[in-house]
Structure 1
Amino acid sequence: MSVSAASFDYDYLIVGGGAAGLSLAYHIAQEPRLARKKVLLIEPEAKDRNDRTWSFWADAPTLFDGIVAHEWRQIAFRSPGFERVLDLGRYRYKTINGLDYYRFVRRALADNPQFTTVQGIVNGLEETAGGVRVRSNAGDFTARFAFDSRPPDLARLRQPAKHRYLLQHFVGWEIETDHEVFNPDVVEFMDFRGEQHREARFIYVLPFSARKALVEYTLFSETPLPKEEYEAAIREYLSTTLQLSDYRITAEEVGAIPMTDHPLPARTGQHILNLGTRGGRAKPSTGYAFKRIQQHSARLVAALAATSLPPADPTGDQWQFHLFDTLLLDIMRRRGETTRDIFRQLFERNPVERIFRFLDETTSWADNFRIMNSVSPWPFMRSIAQVLRGRPGRRQ
């Protein structure tokens, strides 16, 4: 039985109340032209814990500046033979706590009658005549459009003969000390001075004060480590690099972000669009996603407000940046330890604003050439050959 447009329960149905789902909901709430649209948000969890943090760089005000936990004007890059503290110019590096974000958006939606929130697990989405039907353990609903932010099932979708599948995986400790240890003005963006073990491994430090910081051990590789190996690396950094023996662990962060060139489509039907990681919003070569999610939400809402339809090109992604990501993933897969040298050359030979624009995928062709000309060409040439062959490179 078909569903007529007049009989839809909702105009928009958002599956998932994490970063991507709440971002789209908040952007809709801020758009006066969509004020009469009915929106259902289905989220399986209560989202009452600070389960993650999101960091990003920005050169302009954002919708969420009011809940930024901390921001910095400098970052440090460190590797054997090259260390530099970099002023960010017009950029700021910012971090947001997950719980602050959840609470902020939920407060904004709570008094808005166009939004309904249901706690439940979605079991299926299907196209109907002119819309979509969702099946969940909280009931079945219909809508004109559905926006799906559930994580993709990459284990089922994997095509290892064609695509590259890595993880950005990490363990972080938020620690406090009784004396001043950290430079609160400088993010330790990438500290590659430790052993690489044929992979890309670095320490990342967000200093919230001279006595409090998040210290994280991060890897780009195919397989996570036993937890004690991350913890041993953090202890080694604290004791050897910072010469710190007395500290308290006040919180822990554990995660694994997919980094893949597997095609993650922006939509799975005429009326079903994908958000967040499911829609390819985690940048394949870095794992950064928060700002890309905000840009995607703004693009979707602008089109819905102007035309009542999603944009024909939901993301606006450009093919050349996808190629750059694929090449770096291939290098990480073949010779992960050389990633350190590539990033060293990037930071040694380019202004940081150009690097950020490149990672934001807003550089011109001229700047793209300058970026690629600043790094050793041979690893990339080898990976270009693998791309032309249509298969990932393997470690020799």
Structure 2
Amino acid sequence: MVYDYLIVGAGAAGLSLAYHISREPRLAGKTVLLLEPEVKDQNDRTWSFWTDKPTLFDEIAIRTWRKAAFRAPGFEQVFDLGRYRYLTIRGLDFYQFVKQKLAGNVQFTRLKISVESLENEASDVVARAEGGREFRARYAFDSRPPQFAPRPDRHRYLLQHFVGWEVETDQDVFDPEVVEFMDFRGPQHHEPRFIYVLPFTARRALVEYTLFSATRLPKADYENAIRDYLAGTRGVGNYRITAEETGDIPMSDHPLPARAGPRILNLGTRAGRAKPSTGYAFARIQAHSARLVAALAATGQPPADATGDQWQFRLFDTLLLDIMQRRGETVRDIFRELFERNPVERIFQFLNEETSWADNLRVMNSVTPGPFMRSIAQVLRGRPGQRQG
């Protein structure tokens, strides 16, 4: 059998595309094979994002906020998000939601199997899987982790890494209406380091210590930073840790192609959907899925420009990564200037890559130009900046 579409991987990207396909009436007759290496039955991650539109997943968001705080030495403010909302979705809720929506839909076939290779052929794609099994489809969508040989002489390679504790306290501590988006008041140690807090109630919150750097820290360093924040900044004496979250998100300007030939489209991090300068991915995955499905429904083919990414935003990401690599401690001041000198809606729109050229200039003119000019020079030389001393 030759399927119409083959989706490799059933994480955020693969399941999102499957769900978008299931909602498109013009694709109701298409057959879809979803190959997943493992069953997603654990809450292995949490996704947060901001949006100014209704989403397909509003009903499973565990919390929605309309206010966010930014804090750094010399500037602190709680912002009303205006037309934006900030949402959080648990991974397990997402997996179960999509699986339930796909259950009983005869156009979908799901198999638990690992794909070893995908190859373009003249009229279709062949997927070779474990046990010597083969599957064919007109188009394949690959959400496996990207594989590439790093080129540190050409590109920048950092991680956004974090440890988070979900804590419960004995007294009211948190403002459940305000996300602590970035709290840069702690030591930077030559790297961008901040506390991030999602308050679910006045006594329960996810508290994360997040860094941007090339390597992870010993786990005790993250935990000590969270303890210092809870005791020193929040004045919390007694609390219980009810859950823990750890992770590292690759942040790089290494090119990640949207296609791997005429009939293979990449998804998720394999297609560069984790924004290189922030690590946010969920909303970008949804936009990518919607773009692919719209073209498939209208023309029968994926779009020629699969992602719609604009070169100027890729340049902005590269410049910020270069600054992080050269002088990471200055990133705190860059974000302070962004939040101090711009409406928060403009910042979120800029980070969503939806701003006009005029607003892009306003954003760039709001920050001290020196660090960016030095990174522009490195880009023109074709060499990433390196820390000196």
Do both share a fold (TM > 0.5)? yes
Q: SS at 1:287's partner residue?
A: coil
Indicate which of 96, 109, 131 corresponds to 1:103: 96
Aligned to 1:219: 211
Q: CA deviation at 1:129?
A: 1.6
Mapping of residues 1-396 of structure 1, within 5 Å: 8-137=1-130, 139-153=133-147, 156-396=148-388
Cα offsets for 1:300-320 (capped at 9, x unmatched): 000000000000000000000
2: CA distance, partners of 1:261 / 1:40:
32
1: CA distance, partners of 2:20 / 2:6:
14
Q: CA deviation at 1:9?
A: 2.4
Amino acid at match of 2:231: S
Cα offsets for 1:188-228 (capped at 9, x unmatched): 00000000000000000000000100000000111111111
Q: CA deviation at 1:177?
A: 1.1
What's the TM-score once normalised by structure 2's chain length? 0.99
1: CA distance, partners of 2:149 / 2:48:
28
Q: SS at 1:190's partner residue?
A: strand
Cα offsets for 1:349-379 (capped at 9, x unmatched): 0000000110010100000000000000000
Cα offsets for 1:225-273 (capped at 9, x unmatched): 1111111111111110011121111111111011100000000110000
Amino acid at match of 1:25: A
Cα offsets for 1:251-302 (capped at 9, x unmatched): 1111101110000000011000000000000000000000000000000000
1: CA distance, partners of 2:210 / 2:145:
21
Amino acid at match of 1:148: D
Amino acid at match of 1:353: E
2: CA distance, partners of 1:320 / 1:104:
36
Q: CA deviation at 1:46?
A: 1.2
Q: SS at 1:293's partner residue?
A: helix
Amino acid at match of 1:344: R
Q: SS at 2:371's partner residue?
A: helix
1: CA distance, partners of 2:216 / 2:2:
43
Q: SS at 1:77's partner residue?
A: strand
What's the TM-score once normalised by structure 1's chain length? 0.97
* Structure 2: gaps spanning 5 or more residues: none
Aligned to 1:5: none
Amino acid at match of 2:240: R
1: CA distance, partners of 2:234 / 2:114:
45
* Structure 1: gaps spanning 5 or more residues: 1-7
Q: SS at 1:304's partner residue?
A: helix
Q: CA deviation at 1:162?
A: 0.1
Q: CA deviation at 1:45?
A: 1.4
2: CA distance, partners of 1:391 / 1:263:
15
> Which runs of structure 1 show a deviation greater than 6 angstroms over 4 or more consecutive aligned residues?
none
Q: SS at 2:241's partner residue?
A: strand
2: CA distance, partners of 1:23 / 1:209:
29
Identity of aligned residues (%): 73
Amino acid at match of 1:29: S
Q: SS at 1:41's partner residue?
A: strand
1: CA distance, partners of 2:38 / 2:58:
25
Amino acid at match of 1:317: D
Which 10-residue stretch deviates more, 258-267 or 133-142? 133-142
RMSD after superposition: 0.7
1: CA distance, partners of 2:36 / 2:62:
25
Q: SS at 2:318's partner residue?
A: helix
2: CA distance, partners of 1:56 / 1:164:
25
Number of matched pairs:
387
Q: CA deviation at 1:119?
A: 0.7
Amino acid at match of 1:238: L
